Structure 1
Amino acid sequence: MKKWIDRMLGADKAPAPDASEAPAGEAAHDLAVEVDAAYYRWLTASAGYEATPDVEEHLLDLVRTLALDPGAASGLVPRIPELIPELLRDLADDAVSQGALARSVERDTVLVAEVIREANSAYYRPLQPIKSLDAALLMLGQNGLRMLLARIAFRPLLRMADTGFARHAAPLVWHQAEKCALASSLMAPGMAAGVFEAYLAGLMQNLGLLVAFRLAERAAEAGKIPGSSEFGARLFAVSRGLSAAIAAHWEFPPDVVHAIATSSTPAASALARALERGDQIAKLRLLIDAHVVAEDDSLVTAGLNSFERRCLGKLADSRA
Structure 2
Amino acid sequence: MANTLSKFFNRLFGAEQGTPVISPPQAAPEIVAAPKAAEPVEKAASEPLIAVHQAEPVLAPDTPANNTANTEKLIAWKPVLPVESLFFDWIMGYPGEGGNVETEQTVMQALYKLLASDLNDAVIVPRVPSVIPQLLNSLRSKTISAGDLSRQIVKDVVLVGEVINTVNSALYNPADRINSLEKAVMILGEEGLRLVIAKVAFRPIINLNAGQFTRRAAPHIWAQSEKCAVACHTLARDMDPFHAFLTGLMKNVGLIIAFRLLDQTCEHGKFKYSPAFQPIFSSVAATLSYRIAQRWEFPEHVILALQQQAGGRKAIEWSPLGHLLHTADLIAKMRLLVNHSQLNSSDKKLRLGLNPAEVSCFDLLNEIQLYDTTGVQQHPEAQT
| Equivalent residues in 2 for 1:188-199, closer than 5 Å | 188=236, 190=237, 192-199=238-245
> Aligned-pair distance for 1:48?
4.5
- Please, which of 65, 72, 78 is the counterpart of residue 29 of structure 1? 78
Report whether the alignment pairs 1:56 with 2:90.
no
Structure (1 or 2) with the greater helix fraction: 1
Residue in structure 1 matched with residue 190 of structure 2 by the alignment? 142
1:91-106 aligned within 5 A: 91-106=139-154
**What residue in structure 2 maps to residue 244 of structure 1?**
290
Query: Are the aligned partners of 2:13 and 2:299 in contact in 1 as well (CA < 8 Å)?
Result: no
Change (3 A) 1:7 1:279: same
What is the Cα deviation at residue 56 of structure 1? Answer: 2.7
**Are positions 1:211 and 2:261 aligned together?**
no
Aligned match of 1:19 = none
- Where does residue 8 of structure 1 map in the other structure? 12
Q: Which runs of 5+ in 1 are unaligned?
A: 13-23
* Aligned counterparts of 1:37 and 1:129: Cα–Cα separation in 2: 44
What residue is the counterpart of 2:344 in the other structure?
A: 294
> How far 1:125 sits from its partner (Å)?
5.1
TM-score (norm 1): 0.83
Aligned to 1:159: 207
**TM-score, length-scaled by structure 2:** 0.70
Structure (1 or 2) with the larger CA radius of gyration: 2
Aligned length: 304
Alignment of 1:161-310 (within 5 A): 161-188=209-236, 190=237, 192-220=238-266, 222-263=268-309, 265=311, 266-310=316-360
* Partner residue, 2:31: none
Higher relative contact order (CA 8 A, sep 6+): 1
Partners of 2:166 and 2:122 lie apart in 1 by 29
- Aligned-residue offset at 1:60: 2.9
Task: Give the whole-Å Cα distance in 2 for the aligned partners of 1:82 and 1:246.
Answer: 20
Partner of 2:369: 318
SS in structure 1 at match of 2:369: coil
| Equivalent in the alignment of 2:165 | 117
Cα distance change of structure 1 residues 233 and 219 upon mapping to structure 2, 3 Å threshold: same
Contact 2:221–2:256 under 8 Å retained in 1: yes
The structure-2 alpha-carbon separation of the partners of 1:30 and 1:171, relative to structure 1 and needing over 3 Å to count, comes to: closer
**Alignment partners' CA distance in 2, 1:9 and 1:102:** 22
State the secondary structure of the residue aligned to 1:77. coil
**One-letter identity of the residue aligned with 2:343:** V
Is the 8 Å Cα contact of residues 285 and 316 (structure 1) preserved in structure 2? no
CA distance, structure 2, for counterparts of residue 136 and residue 315 of structure 1:
26
**What do residues 87-126 of structure 1 show as CA deviations (whole Å, max 9, x unaligned)?**
112112232122322332244454233113223445x454
* 5+ residue gaps, structure 2: 18-73, 372-384
- Structure 1, 220-229 or 281-290: larger mean CA deviation: 220-229
Instruction: Report the Cα distance in structure 1 between the residues aligned to 2:205 and 2:91, rounded to whole angstroms.
Output: 19
Equivalent residue number for residue 44 of structure 1: 92
Identity among equivalent pairs (%): 34
Judged with a 3 Å threshold, the aligned counterparts in structure 2 of structure 1 residues 226 and 242 are, in CA distance, closer, same or farther, namely: farther
- SS of 2:297's partner is coil
Q: Is the 8 A contact 1:184 1:202 kept in 2?
A: yes
Shift in CA distance, 52/200, structure 1 to aligned 2, threshold 3 Å: same
Pick which of 277-286 and 47-56 moved more. Answer: 47-56
In 2, are the aligned partners of 1:56 and 1:231 still within 8 Å (CA)?
yes
Q: State the shift of 1:134 in Å.
A: 4.2
Cα-Cα RMSD:
2.9
| CA distance, structure 2, for counterparts of residue 272 and residue 62 of structure 1 | 27
Q: Is the deviation greater in 273-282 or in 99-108?
A: 99-108
Spell out, residue by residue over 1:286-316, the C-alpha distance to the aligned partner (whole angstroms, 9 max, x if none).
Answer: 1122111222223433253332233231452
